[in-house]
């Protein structure tokens, strides 16, 4: 009875879900090799079904499959990172603006509850992973209020990719997409009109993007590290 959590969903879906969760929770860093045979023996299943799961994951851009070279957890480039955030800004701003007419005070209260619940966690150390996951949840909850499941699912994909981007490009200490930022965003939503909310959302996402360290970490500074070479 306490064997697997979801008993109904097929084994390949379970593998997919497990890897997805591991990526979201920052346990599987970008670049991690995903050997078909290894995964197969882990789940006691043939490579056939593992391959199926890996292909599904690659269609969501969470893993990258290079021909004859196997699958790895994807490593989005800086350019891709910028595009994902730009896409999120466009999409989430538009969705929020359209939601504004329908947004009830109860909706906003519910969102605040989610945030308050998160405030308990100290946000101190390496549980930044949890903070990132919760940030995603907030954006997902906001999108759900819009009501369009097609856009919801697409945003889900983008948020998933954002996990990888943050894992790759977040500076050592900086907390990203802080709860405070979400609080401020909610304030703007509550107080302002549609256009204001739209701008606030875009500003928030662009701030998150700016907090990243997308520029290469000194690729040519090698000489310096070797003393007074060259």
Contact flag: residue 100 with a copy of itself (CB under 8 A): no
Candidate list 23, 73, 95, 164; residue touching a copy of itself; CB under 8 A: 95
| Least spacing, CB of residue 9 vs DNA, in Å | 11
| Least spacing, CB of residue 92 vs a copy of itself, in Å | 10
67 versus 216: smaller Cβ distance to DNA: 67
Contact flag: residue 67 with a copy of itself (CB under 8 A): yes
14 versus 182: smaller Cβ distance to DNA: 14
> Residues 198, 89: contact at Cβ < 8 Å?
no
| Least spacing, CB of residue 149 vs a copy of itself, in Å | 6
> Rounded to whole angstroms, how far apart are CA atoms 150 and 137?
17
DSSP string computed for 1-29: --S-S-SSS-HHHHHHHHHHHHHHTTSS-
| Least spacing, CB of residue 52 vs a copy of itself, in Å | 7
52 versus 144: smaller Cβ distance to a copy of itself: 52
Binding-site partner at residue 93 among DNA, a copy of itself, none, CB < 5 to 8 Å by type: a copy of itself
Candidate list 23, 73, 91, 186; residue touching a copy of itself; CB under 8 A: 91
Scanning the structure block, which residue is given the tokens 């064997």? 3
| Least spacing, CB of residue 47 vs a copy of itself, in Å | 12
Q: Footprint of a copy of itself on residues 144-173 (CB under 8 A)?
A: 148-151, 154, 158
> Rounded to whole angstroms, how far apart are CA atoms 136 and 155?
10
74 versus 185: smaller Cβ distance to DNA: 74
The DSSP bridge partners found for residue 63 are 73
Stretch near a copy of itself under the rule CB under 8 A, chosen from 76-84, 112-120, 165-173, 175-183: 76-84
| Nearest in space to 76 (alpha carbons), one of 222, 212, 210 | 212
> Rounded to whole angstroms, how far apart are CA atoms 185 and 208?
13
> Residues 177, 135: contact at Cβ < 8 Å?
yes
Both tokens assigned to 101: 């007419």
First to last CA, the chain: 67
Measured at the CA of 152, the angle between CA 149 and CA 156, to 5 degrees, comes to 140
Both tokens assigned to 98: 């359209």
Using CB under 8 A, list all residues that contact a copy of itself.
Answer: 10, 52, 55-56, 59, 67, 80, 83-84, 86-87, 90-91, 93-95, 98, 148-151, 154, 158
């Amino acid at each position: 009875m306490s064997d697997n959590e979801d008993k109904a969903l097929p084994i390949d879906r379970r593998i997919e879900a497990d890897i997805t969760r591991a990526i979201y929770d920052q346990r599987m860093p970008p670049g991690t090799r995903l050997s078909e045979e290894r995964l197969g023996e882990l789940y006691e299943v043939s490579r056939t079904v593992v391959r199926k799961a890996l292909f599904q994951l690659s269609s969501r851009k969470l893993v990258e499959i290079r021909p004859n070279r196997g699958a790895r957890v994807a490593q989005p480039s800086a350019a891709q990172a910028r595009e994902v955030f730009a896409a999120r800004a466009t999409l989430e701003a538009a969705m929020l603006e359209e939601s504004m007419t329908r947004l009830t005070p109860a909706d906003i209260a519910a969102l605040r509850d989610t945030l308050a619940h998160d405030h308990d966690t100290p946000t101190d150390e390496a549980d930044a992973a949890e903070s990132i996951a919760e940030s995603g949840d907030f954006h997902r909850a906001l999108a759900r209020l819009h009501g369009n499941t097609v856009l919801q699912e697409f945003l889900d994909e983008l948020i998933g990719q954002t996990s990888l981007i943050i894992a790759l490009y977040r500076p050592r200490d900086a907390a990203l997409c802080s709860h405070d930022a979400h609080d401020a965003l909610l304030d703007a939503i509550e107080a302002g009109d549609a256009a204001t909310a739209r701008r606030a959302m875009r500003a928030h996402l662009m701030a998150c993007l700016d907090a990243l360290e997308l520029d290469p970490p000194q690729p040519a500074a090698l000489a310096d590290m070797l003393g007074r070479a060259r």
